[in-house]
Amino acid sequence: MNLGVWLVSLVQPFLARVLVSLGFSVVSIVGLDAIFTQLKTKLQTSFAALPADMLNLFLLAGGGVGLGIIFGAMTTKLILWKIQQGTKILGVNSQ
């Protein structure tokens, strides 16, 4: 048996798992990023339709910062969830 063939046969299952987990993660993150972008755009257009006084009151009360915190928390949760799913596929985490 050739040494190269033997080494490839040892590494191939692990490499396949890594590529599959990376592929699923990239597709999921890109898709959810598009959803978040659309949601932000919808919120911006909705806030632009508000009367100026209501929008100023919303922004003075910290509404913009609150929305930033909410979107940041959703993005962080998504990233952590995808990391956990990737380790499950790779067999590192047996939960």
The model carries a pTM of: 0.55
Only one residue has tokens 């909705």, namely 46
pLDDT of residue 94: 46
pLDDT of residue 47: 84
Distances (CA, A) of 41 to 38, 47, 79: 5, 10, 21
Domain edges within the chain: 22-89
Phi-psi region of 91 (alpha: psi -120 to 50; beta: other; left: phi over 0): left
Overall average pLDDT of the 57-73 stretch: 90
